[in-house]
Amino acid sequence: MSWSISIPFVSRSDSLPAVADAARALPEGDDRAVARQIVLRGMTSGMTTAGDLLDELAAMSPAERRALLDQARVGAGLPSTAETSAAAARKVRAQMINDDARDEIGRALQVCAQVGCKNFPIDPVTGAHAPHAARRWWCSEHMAGHEDDMQPWTMRIGYGPSGAIVFLDEVERDIATAEREAEARAAFLAERRAARIAEWPQVEAQDAAQAEALKGDNFKFKGAP
As measured in angstroms, the least distance from the Cβ of 151 to Zn ion is 18
Around 173, how many Cα atoms within 13 Å sit in the side-chain half-sphere?
Answer: 20
Around 217, how many Cα atoms within 13 Å sit in the side-chain half-sphere?
Answer: 8
Q: How far apart are CA 98 and CA 106, in angstroms?
A: 10
- Of 2, 23, 1, 5, which Cα lies nearest the Cα of 14? 23
Contacting residue, 114, 136, 146, 207, with Zn ion by CB under 5 A: 114
Contacting residue, 89, 117, 176, 187, with Zn ion by CB under 5 A: 117
Show the site string, 138-157: x = touches Zn ion by CB under 5 A, - = not: -x--x---------------
157-159 and 165-167 strand pairing = antiparallel
Query: Of the two residues 42 and 121, which places its CB atom closer to Zn ion in the complex?
Result: 121
Residues 31-90 that bind Zn ion (CB under 5 A): none
Is 95 exposed, middle or buried (CB count within 10 Å of its CB: 0-12, 13-18, 19+)? middle
Asked if 6 interacts with Zn ion (CB under 5 A), we say no
Query: Of the two residues 149 and 207, which places its CB atom closer to Zn ion in the complex?
Result: 149
As measured in angstroms, the least distance from the Cβ of 116 to Zn ion is 9
Query: Of the two residues 113 and 171, which places its CB atom closer to Zn ion in the complex?
Result: 113
Query: Of the two residues 68 and 112, which places its CB atom closer to Zn ion in the complex?
Result: 112
Query: Of the two residues 117 and 224, which places its CB atom closer to Zn ion in the complex?
Result: 117
Q: How far apart are CA 214 and CA 44, in angstroms?
A: 10
Residues that bind Zn ion (CB under 5 A): 112, 114, 117, 119, 139, 142
